[in-house]
Amino acid sequence: PVKRLHAPDILARKGGEPIVCLTAYDAPTAELLDSHCDLLLVGDSVGMVVHGLPNTVGVTLDMMILHGQAVMRGARQAMVVIDMPFGSYEGGKELAYQNCARVMKETGAQGVKLESGPTVPQTIEYLVQRGIPVMGHVGLRPQAVLNEGGFKAKGKTEDERLRVMSEAEATADAGAFAVVIEGVAEGLAAEITLAIDKPTIGIGASAACDGQILVVNDMLGMFDWSPKFVRRYADLRGEITRAAKSYAEDVRARRFPAQVETYFSKKPV
């Protein structure tokens, strides 16, 4: 029997062995990733990488719950964290609590993640006090894309650096068990990691963080483009393209199915 990791186990890794995280959206992928990862995030990136949306603003709570349930069926030992989608927590603490509680109940996941803009840390404190483990997310916050006019790295000006640092500190002080840092330069990631007593999980945020996360479809090479910070550990795009092409050629040439792929009745018909 394997023991499932929970928020305190991730928290205890601050400054220790790097925390290994990936996103996951479905049961079979979660099952493959599970034994290699400490934490699986059901990211609202599911909207972009699985559902073909232009950004994460259109992702719904129902989508997150459905994918969360699937990942929970595949993962046995990794902590599973579910992203709260745009519109499900920014409107107030009570609204956030209702929606987070629903996610926790209906998926059985071990925690949720909220993008920690300026007003969110007080909500995180409210949630944590009521029994919901929360991971924060600072720096580039994809749910703010419409205000920003695109996905842009953060911390290029001194003003921005101070803002990201203070959001990270407020998130940690609010009781988050870990903080994702996205799209910031190494210097700022290192400063934040030194300043807060919670593990930092970097994505496009250098090796200075306490852990790393990538979107699984990116690191598997599913797309023709991926950001600079992604390392492609596989070429699934090439593999799937080759497979689809071979299958189409075989069907058209009547090479598929062959005898070994065909059922035959015992009695002659």
- By annotation, the residues acting in catalysis are 182
Interaction of residue 45 with ligand KIV, rule CB under 6 A: yes
Interaction of residue 83 with ligand KIV, rule CB under 6 A: yes
Residue pair 231/207 in contact (Cβ under 8 Å)? The answer is no
Known binding site: residues? 44-45, 83, 113, 115
CB neighbours of residue 229 within 10 Å? 16
CB neighbours of residue 20 within 10 Å? 16
- Stretch of 31-39, 43-51, 160-168, 260-268 contacting ligand KIV, by CB under 6 A: 43-51
Interaction of residue 83 with Na ion, rule CB under 5 A: yes
- Which of 43, 111, 155, 175 binds ligand KIV (CB under 6 A)? It is 43
Interaction of residue 216 with ligand KIV, rule CB under 6 A: no
Interaction of residue 44 with Na ion, rule CB under 5 A: yes
**For residues 144-183, which are near ligand KIV according to CB under 6 A?**
180, 182
Q: Are strands 19-23 and 111-115 parallel, antiparallel or unpaired?
A: unpaired
Residue pair 149/126 in contact (Cβ under 8 Å)? The answer is no
φ/ψ of 123, rounded to 5, equals -70, -40
180 touches, from ligand KIV, Na ion, none (C-beta below 5 to 8 Å by class) = ligand KIV
Using the Cα atoms of residue 137, residue 138, residue 140 and residue 142 in order, give the sign of their dihedral. Answer: positive
Locus of tokens 């006090």: 129
203 touches, from Na ion, ligand KIV, none (C-beta below 5 to 8 Å by class) = ligand KIV
Distance CA 90, CA 85 (A): 10
Interaction of residue 215 with ligand KIV, rule CB under 6 A: yes
Residues forming the site for Na ion (CB under 5 A): 43-44, 83
